Structures are given as C-alpha cells and as structure tokens.
Structure 1
Amino acid sequence: MVHRAGNEPLQARSPLRLRSGLAAFGVVCAAAGAVAFAMIDHPGWALVCAIVAVVAALDLVIVIWRIRQGPHYQPGRDVPPYEPARSQDIGRTTGRHRKKR
C-alpha cells in the first residue's frame, strides 16, 4: 500500500514540455518513415506512418495550446490546486453526500 501525504495536488506537475518534445520527435520519425516507405513502394506502411504522424501532430498542437494557456491551467507552486472556500460556502454541501455516522 502506498503511503499518501495528502499534499499530492500541490506537488503534481504535468510534464507538457517533455510531452511536446516526444510528440515532435514522433512527428519527424513518422513523417520520415512515411516518405521512406512511399519511396520503396510500400503504400500500406506509408499510410500507417502517415496516420501516426498526424496523431502525433495533433497531440503536439494540443500540448502547445495547453502550455500557452498559462499558469492558471498549469499552476506553479504558489497557485493552489483549487479555489479556496469562501466563508459563506463553508457548511454548504455540493456533489456527493457522505453518510453521517
């Protein structure tokens, strides 16, 4: 069993820059594979590589879009993981209800 400290949302970070680098590498390799397979007359493999290149390019676009959204969507250490409760909201229940014992 994994011991949880309770502060995981504060420490959680999304590795978007790593994901963008891997997606860019995937686009380049898959596009090169599509061209190479097309040149040696293997249209099936060229199509597979082209589809992988398109999926990797879409992933790259989404990652860049999320990076450009800024720190609200990728919070730093000084941004809480949720909006703090206001005093008038304390005691108000939302969502699931826990059974009282």
Structure 2
Amino acid sequence: MRTGSEPSEARSALRMRFGLAAWGLVWALAGTVIFAEIGHLGWAIACGVVAAIAAVDLIVVVHRMHQGPHWQPGRDVPPYRPLGRR
C-alpha cells in the first residue's frame, strides 16, 4: 500500500551496498596488482580508479551506518507510517 510519503521515508540497503563495495574493492585491488605485474598499465590504472571509487563508497556507507537508526531504521521499524483511523 502506498501512503504518498515514500520519498521522505525511503530506505537504502546499506548492508548490501557495503558487501558489494567491499567485494568490488577486493577484486579491483587484485586486478590492479595483477595487471601492474604483467605490464598492462592502462588496465592497472582502470582497476585502481575502480578501487578508489569502491573505497570512497565504503567510507560513505560506514558513515551512514554509524548515523544510527534515525537515518537507517532497523528491522523493527515498519517501512511506512501506519495509517490513522478515519
């Protein structure tokens, strides 16, 4: 059921975003090292840029997670404001 207040109460899947950013960071760092060792400088730089973006994303996600339940409601908070009696 839609209440019309979705934009102000929208939630972000921060745990999933954290996991995906961490996974991307690991693979991008591995790619940077591997491509640098085999001599493909362009690919190493590209992987390094992706690793930097993933690292910044991780920092943002951790910061938002530390802001607490006011900014990221927990599982016990309903996704929508309960409708009042009419």
Q: Shorter-chain TM-score: what band?
A: 0.7 to 0.9
Name the structure where helix makes up a greater proportion of residues: 2
> Which sections of structure 1, spanning at least 5 residues, go unmatched?
82-101
TM-score, normalization: structure 1? Answer: 0.67
Task: Give the share of equivalent positions with the same residue, in percent.
Answer: 50
- Give the TM-score normalised by the residue count of structure 2: 0.78
Gaps of 5+ in 2: 82-86
Q: Find the aligned partners of 1:8 and 1:14 in 2 and give their Cα distance.
A: 15
- Please, what is the CA RMSD of the aligned residues? 2.6
Q: Give the distance between the partners of 1:70 and 1:48, measured in 2 at CA.
A: 35
Q: Which has the higher contact order (CA 8 A, sep 6+)?
A: 2
After TM superposition, list the pairs within 5 Å mapping 1:50-61 onto structure 2.
50-61=48-59
Structure whose alpha-carbon radius of gyration is higher: 1
Aligned length: 78
Looking at structure 2, the residues matched to 25 and 60 of structure 1 have their Cα atoms a distance apart, in angstroms, of 10
- Cα separation, 2, equivalents of 1:78 and 1:49: 40
